[in-house]
Structure 1
């Protein structure tokens, strides 16, 4: 990770309908030289307006607010409006829903300085990870652009990901997709399994699936994507379900709802 990336201040927006809560967050953030509070909002509608003008790195977001609650704000502006979202609320009933929409943490009021520092550290790591992935993606695109394109390849044919950029120990690795064994969904991340190693990416399974060649990678479960080249055999279970056994011996479950698509691929349709 470059020194420039570490020194760059993270643009932060504070959204809460309580003035004292906003003041408390501002004071805590002011003590961190790596953070820059670029604005604060007292209502969800005001937050939507500000976020539509441009994204921020970190968003501290209350849930229960007049006009539009925190979840409505995120639905209105989309996932690209903030690199890391931290819900700050006095209610503990929304935790699961918060993580379902990709929140980096759920900060329950009242909280102490140590708790805030821990949450802020996670938010920083999320943003920096996203920046590394963005740089790696650009590097991969440049690398692919230098390779000659076969003359017989149709211009209109879809293009799929050839390498996956993953962060490991401060480095960015470019993993050829043919080396991937299988992928599993893990909250708002995916775990990419390559041999005996695995890599965690902040991307939904649906997003990654759309980037991979469907003739090679197939969804066999709502949370599992498999490289067909790694499949050795299918073992029947009950009610139309199967075990998908890979060459390394691992078994993955094939759900009945995904069986038809597998049949189509195997029959060449």
Structure 2
């Protein structure tokens, strides 16, 4: 069993801090050990004890969360920024942040960010992701799909449609569950109802308000929400 991550939440708005802590309580593999409402408070806590994970707002009353993260470079990969401002994503990723979430925080998107941070904090053994497979029932038979063969997953009603080389396999699972299950294999959530294999992304077509359409190598087009855009761009930029 993986160790419990000691977590610090830095958020100056009491209601937002409470909501975020409540969302984190749904994840038994971490423990919120402290909260802070300013850069000075957070800096003092970071000096006084060791935290495994930092959830950090950017607009704080006495300075920027980006500046705080810059003073603690060893914690960069253990930091998830939580902010209302999309324009700082590139700066955050340049610091080495694990992820960048926009308010209001979507629980499934938070779960994806926590899974990514966990992999950075406690990396799996070499070769771990290569063995990830998805079990799909076909009548009386169960097929096991190698994760790297999946093109994308989207939703049709209560069913998840797993697209693999022109074939579609149906699963009665939520997209949030599948996103978390497939994240160690590199698949990325790009929309509230879509997960893609970044290796299949061929081009990005801009839409309004930061949203976009992704053209995949098999000709399929899937939506990219601005909420998930920074995470996908980080993956694509690392390829």
TM-score, structure 1 as length reference? 0.45
In structure 2, the residue matched to 1:105 is 99
Q: Check conservation: 2:38, 2:60, Cα contact below 8 A.
A: yes
Q: What root-mean-square deviation, in Å, do the aligned CA atoms of Structure 1 and Structure 2 show?
A: 1.8
In structure 2, the residue matched to 1:52 is 47
- What CA distance in whole angstroms lies between the structure 1 residues aligned with 2:111 and 2:26? 10
> In the TM superposition, what are the counterparts of 1:1-269 in structure 2 within 5 Å?
3=1, 6=2, 8-76=3-71, 78-81=72-75, 84-129=78-123, 167-170=125-128
In structure 1, the residue matched to 2:134 is none
State which structure, 1 or 2, has the greater radius of gyration over its C-alpha atoms.
Answer: 1
Q: How far off its partner does 1:60 sit?
A: 0.2
In structure 1, the residue matched to 2:176 is none
Q: Check conservation: 1:89, 1:107, Cα contact below 8 A.
A: yes
- What CA distance in whole angstroms lies between the structure 2 residues aligned with 1:67 and 1:125? 32
Q: 1:25 to 1:31 in 2, by over 3 A?
A: same
What per-residue deviation string (whole Å, max 9, x for no partner) do you get for residues 6-51 of structure 1?
1x10000000111111111111111111111010000011101100
What count of residue pairs does the alignment treat as equivalent? 129
Q: Check conservation: 1:55, 1:82, Cα contact below 8 A.
A: no
Q: How far off its partner does 1:54 sit?
A: 2.4
- What CA distance in whole angstroms lies between the structure 2 residues aligned with 1:53 and 1:11? 13
Q: 1:45 to 1:109 in 2, by over 3 A?
A: same
In structure 2, the residue matched to 1:202 is none
Q: How far off its partner does 1:53 sit?
A: 1.4
Q: 1:81 to 1:120 in 2, by over 3 A?
A: closer
- What CA distance in whole angstroms lies between the structure 2 residues aligned with 1:111 and 1:26? 11
Q: 1:83 to 1:56 in 2, by over 3 A?
A: farther
What per-residue deviation string (whole Å, max 9, x for no partner) do you get for residues 174-226 of structure 1?
xxxxxxxxxxxxxxxxxxxxxxxxxxxxxxxxxxxxxxxxxxxxxxxxxxxxx
Q: How far off its partner does 1:83 sit?
A: 5.2
What per-residue deviation string (whole Å, max 9, x for no partner) do you get for residues 67-105 of structure 1?
1210121233x2224651000000111000000001011
Question: RCO greater where, 1 or 2, for CA within 8 Å and sep 6 or more?
Answer: 2
Structure 1 consecutive aligned stretches of length 4 or more whose deviation exceeds 4 Å:
none
Stretches of structure 2 that go unaligned for 5 or more consecutive residues are 130-239
TM-score, structure 2 as length reference? 0.51
